[in-house]
Amino acid sequence: MVRALLGDRPEITPVWFMRQAGRSLPEYRALRSRGTMLEACLDPALASEITMQPVRRHGVDAAIFFSDIIVPLALVGIDVEIAPGRGPVFSKPLRTAADIAATVAIDPALVVERGGAVADAVGRTTAMLADLSDERGEPIPLIGFAGAPFTLAAYLVEGGPSKDHMAARRLIHEDAPAWRDLTSWLAEVTGRFLALQIEAGASAGQLFDSWAGGLSPADYRSSVLPASVAALAHARSLPLPEGVDRLPLVHFGVGTGEILADMASADIDALGVDYRVPLDVARARIGRDLTLQGNLDPAMLYAPEPVRTAAVHEILTAGRAARAHVFNLGHGVPMDADPDAISAVVRTVHDWRAR
């Protein structure tokens, strides 16, 4: 997995899934029968066990740390809950410039000062992963992740999920200085959260921008990309462990077909592509020889086996256009997906050989 992210194409394409930790697994639901999502994310024993569940069940080539993009906001003291069936809900949305000024006055360093449970969970997970290996006999890595500043800002100014992110898009144009202050602060907060996971032992990191696809390319370039670049810089600036030349970073967004080249301009090693753009088309658009990650439509998990297998083979073939390919879904695992179908995709990927 790590070699592929850095551009060395292995004979067997590595595979992992966004949102593989939890949701669709009955063993996850059994563990999560009590307490809130935030409590689970900040319980080291629980978070590490949930992270390991899909590795054991599906035989994927990487673990993705069980957490949530709003965890760093909770760590710095912002009142937020993850409402079942809805998502992050904030008790005090940032409606005015004064609201934003009060928020950005919070010290981003609190993420690290109060992030001991996160570091503990990463350490526990990497220790468990050390006892496992992939089909090539290589250690299974842990991927850390964080939410991109725009997605976090969209939640904060709206107070929760939104279909069109109008509050964030409005703020970009209505009060550009306040928007810059907010996203610069969020870059510090979420960047430190990603760096915390890597310092604790994660072997790679992914910046996840759920809502960037709702922006025009011009707005993305001028008002969003700089903060994402700054967030990634926190991970890139970390001292490397002995024997490691470069730590792989992945940039992923949903509905980002028109801004793939912009996302690829960050200091990254791999670009995640959602299910709307074929990988060979994405390679032509980005203009850089990066590793590509993706991008099976999650709806294909419900398709008959021959249809699903053909779709997997088509994506693996398109992925040959890039220097290397990490197979994934083009978004997260749906909550009601059949775990057996997920495992079958892993087997199909591992059994495939490019002609």
Number of folded domains that form the chain: 1
Q: How many CB atoms lie within 10 A of CB 29?
A: 12
pLDDT at 354: 59
- Identify the CATH number of the domain in which residue 16 sits: 3.20.20.210
pLDDT at 87: 86
Q: Give whole-number Cα distances, 34 to 20, 28, 45, 48, 247, in Å.
A: 20, 11, 14, 16, 36
Q: Residues 28, 57, 155, 269: which is the catalytic one? A: 155
pLDDT at 185: 98
| 186 in Cβ contact with 152 (< 8 Å) | yes
Is it the case that residue 296 has pLDDT exceeding 90? yes
Name 263's Cβ contacts closer than 8 Å, sequence gap at least 6.
209, 212, 225, 228, 251, 253, 256, 271
Active site residue 169: no
Q: If you average pLDDT over residues 318-338, what whole number do you get?
A: 96
CA distance 200 to 195: 8
Residue 232: pLDDT band with limits 50, 70, 90: very high
Q: Residues 32, 180, 276, 285: which is the catalytic one? A: 32
pLDDT at 139: 84
* Dihedral sign computed on CA atoms, order 129, 130, 132, 137: positive
Least confidently predicted of 86-90, 112-116, 235-239 = 86-90
Question: Nearest 5°: phi and psi at 309?
Answer: -65, -40
Q: Residues 28, 57, 61, 68: which is the catalytic one? A: 68
Say which residue the tokens 């000024």 belong to.
101
Q: Residues 3, 23, 114, 180: which is the catalytic one? A: 23
Active site residue 155: yes
Q: Which domain holds residue 99?
A: 2-351
Residue 355: pLDDT band with limits 50, 70, 90: low
Q: If you average pLDDT over residues 171-186, what whole number do you get?
A: 98
Alpha helices, DSSP H only, in the chain? 2-5, 26-31, 37-41, 44-58, 71-75, 97-104, 110-113, 116-129, 149-158, 166-174, 176-199, 217-223, 225-236, 260-264, 279-286, 305-318, 339-351
Residue 136: pLDDT band with limits 50, 70, 90: low
pLDDT at 156: 97
Is it the case that residue 134 has pLDDT exceeding 90? no
pLDDT at 40: 94
Is it the case that residue 344 has pLDDT exceeding 90? yes
Active site residue 61: no
Active site residue 57: no
| 55 in Cβ contact with 132 (< 8 Å) | yes
Active site residue 269: no
Say which residue the tokens 């700089």 belong to.
226
pLDDT at 135: 64
The three-state secondary structure class of 276 is coil
Is it the case that residue 282 has pLDDT exceeding 60? yes
